[in-house]
Every structure is written in C-alpha cells, then in structure tokens.
Amino acid sequence: MSLFTIEALELLLWTSKPKPPCLLRLSLDEREETQMSIPHLFRCPISLDLFTDPVTLSTGLTYDRPCIERWLADGNLTCPVTMQRLSDASLVPNHTLRHLIDQWLIAGAADFHCRTKPTRSVNDNELSLAAVKQKLQSPDIASAAKLQALDKVRAVAVESDIGQACLIQLGFFPLLLQLLLRAPWPADSELIEVALDCVLSFSPASPLDSLNMLTDSSNLDSLMLLLDQGSARIKISLCHLLEVIGTSGATQELSLIVGQSPRVLQALVFLAQNKPDGAASEAAVRAIAGLCSSEATRRNAIREGAVDGIVSYLSSSAGKTDARALAALELLLGHEEGKRAAVRNPNAIPVLVKMVFKVPSDHKGGEHAVGSLLTVCCDSTPATTQAVDAGVVMQLLLLLQSQCSSKAKAKARALLKLVKSMWAAHAGGGQCNNDK
C-alpha cells in the first residue's frame, strides 16, 4: 500500500491542466489519512514511483520524464528495460496515461471528500470512474443513465491496458457480471448487451475467478434464460463467455457445472446448427469446444447432440473455426456414443473427408479430420466404405504431399492402411471389422 500523500497530490499542481479547487483545499491531516494502492502500470520502471510526466521512447516503453532524461544525460543510448539500442532518443508525451493517472487521482480525492462531508457538491467529471461505479451500483439510477456509464467503461477498457488496470483495480469486472445477470429481461436488453460487451472487453486481463459467481443457481438460471431467449448479440456474447469459462484454469469448477446443464448444451447445439447466422454458429462451436476440454462434459455434450451440431457447422463453415471444431469432434468421437452418433449422421463422414485437405490448406484441421475418420472407420466397415466413396484416398494422398505435421502424416498412413485392408478383406470375401 502507498500513502496518498502531499507529494501525490502535488502532482496535480505540476501538470499543465487546471485542477479542481476541492483537491487543493485538502488539509495535511486529510491528505495523510487518505490511502490508495497505486496500480503497477502507473509506476515508472526506473523510480518505481507514480509517473509525474510520462513519456514514451521509440521502443514503446513509457518512463517518467525526469528519470529517463537523467538516464540519457548519463550517456546511455539504450532502453532501460529492454536494453535495446535507441535509434531515436526523442521522448513522446503519453497523454493517455497522463489522463488516466489524473482521473485516478481525482477519483480518489473526490471519494475522500464524499466521506468527509464536502462543503460543496462534486460534479461527475471530478468523480470520474468512482461516479460511474456508483451509478452502476445504485438501484435508483435509470437504465438510460446506466447505459451512458457503461459506454464510458467500455471506452476506457478498450483504449489501453492501463485503462483495464484501473477498472480492475476498482472492482468493475464482478460489478458488470452482477449487472447483466440481475437486469430485468427483456426490459433492459440493451443494458445487458452493453454490459456483456464490457465484460468481454476485459479478457484476458480480467480476474476470471469472478466468473465463479455463476456457480450460484440463480445466476446460472439467469445466464440460461439469456442464452435461450436473448437477442442474437446477447447469445453470441454469452457463447464467447462460455468459451472463456471452458478454457480457463480459474473456472474449472464452473465449467463442470455448466457442462452438466442439458439446457446450456442444447442451446449451444441449436446455435451451432443455425446456418443463416454464421457468427452465432461459430461462437457456439467455440463454446462447445471450450467446454468439451473437460472429459466429464463430453458425454453430456454427445447426449445433447454436439456431434450433429459440429458436423452441421462444418458442412457450411467459412473456415475460421474449423480446426477448433474438428479438434472437439475428434475428442467426442473418442467415446463409443460419439462414434455411434457419427455413423448415424449421413453427413459426418463426407464432411470429415472434405476437411482432410482443403485449399488453402489447414494442416491442423486436416490432422483432426484424419484422426476422427480413423477412430470411426476402425470399428465400422460401412463408415470406411462411405469414406472411400467420398474420395478419402485422394484427400489422404494430397495431405501426405503437403507440409503437414509428422503426426498428421502418421494418422494419414494409418487410415490408408485401414482402407487397403478393407479392400483386401472384400477381395477375399471377408470383412475386416464388425459392421456398426
């Protein structure tokens, strides 16, 4: 912890902007009582003190002007942090950082004034992010005012990492989650959409353990309601959030809880099969893939139709998420229920054959497609016959001639060997495997 002392407040006097008179009237006792934790991004890498005049070098690193000027005056021609030689020793003022530090200082001082009964009201500009947080927390503020506050949060979050650090320091991430989960639906649909945008703009810098509030049944019910009935924009955003939950180490328990919900999985499968809305189907497939990183979720996903959902997506996808989708499908086909689902789906084998080799080639996706075919065909002569009829031999030969990984080539050779053995069995009047 660092005291919000006279020196910190005097920074406001040293800056070029005129400062609110209320800050300058703080008494010595008041200043010594006020304590704040300085975000590390507000500290100069040289002095480790709060920036007074942040400037940026050609290397992209920011330093306090007095410190870097002393460094350069001593004859150093390198960046102090990276030790990269400077081709240009000019110093560019970092106005964004300066503004955020000013706002941070103002917010802290204004908050102190509110607690100590100020002699005059403090306006919204002086309260800055503290006022925004208060608006979002208050049950008496109208939705329109909260929307304006959320627009400011979103602007600060996307502007820079420093802005995100400020918001995280002030506890905005859990506040935004609470807001979107407790806002009345559908009356506040726009508020929920913007709150979700704000939550997603934090990733990956956000404290993801806050997402564990969704383990509460009422919060999870709210999420499922929005996933079922929300607008297209809300559904896409929630899919992105579920992908984060499925892939983050901080939310493993939550991922298991979500993965046990038939309602969530059914909604994702339905979206994955929604061909007219490519963005929604892609987001849903990414969410399914994220949640299926857990072994415990895969059987539930298969029961709720995940295999058919992914096959449907791949049959008409634009290619951006093919590798993720194929990787998830290969995991699902590792289960007997998954293999049976693929054999029952008349499009599964032709779609996988098409994905073995594509132009432009996606070697990672091709590897997963071959792995999936190998898993299914190994136990099913009809599936192997269907793959041959769909042109798998030519696809495998093209893949082997490409720059794919050694793992992909090993799988391709194994599948070719399986196809050859089936032909030999048929020529001898037998079968290589039991039909399934």
CB 399 within 8 A of CB 412: yes
Q: Which helix (H) or strand (E) holds 145?
A: helix 143-159
pLDDT tens figures, 101-122: 877 765 554 443 444 444 434 3
State how beta strands 54-56 and 35-36 pair: unpaired
Q: Which helix (H) or strand (E) holds 93?
A: strand 92-93
| Backbone φ and ψ of 38, nearest 5° | -80, 120
pLDDT of residue 52: 81
Instruction: Look up residue 409 and give its two tokens.
Output: 């080539």
pLDDT tens figures, 63-109: 999 999 999 999 999 999 989 999 888 999 998 888 888 777 655 54
Does the structure show a pLDDT above 80 at 164? no
Most confident listed range (22-26, 93-97, 422-426): 93-97
pLDDT of residue 3: 32
Q: What is the CA angle 238-239-242, rounded to 5?
A: 85
CB-based contacts of 432, cutoff 8 Å, min separation 6: 381, 418, 421, 422, 424, 425
Instruction: Look up residue 43 and give its two tokens.
Output: 């500290």
Give 58's DSSP letter.
T
In Å, how far from its chain's centre is CA 88? 36
Domain regions of the chain by residue span:
40-107, 207-304, 337-425
Classify domain 40-107 by CATH number: 3.30.40.10
Least Cα distance to 369 among 421, 411, 400, 416 occurs for 411
CA-based Rg of the chain, rounded to a whole angstrom? 29
Cis ω before 262 (30° cut-off from 0): no
Q: List the beta strands (DSSP E) in 212-344.
A: none
Q: Which helix (H) or strand (E) holds 179?
A: helix 172-182
| Least confident residue range of 41-50, 98-107, 253-262, 276-285 | 98-107
Model confidence band, residue 362 (pLDDT cutoffs 50, 70, 90): low
pLDDT of residue 433: 47
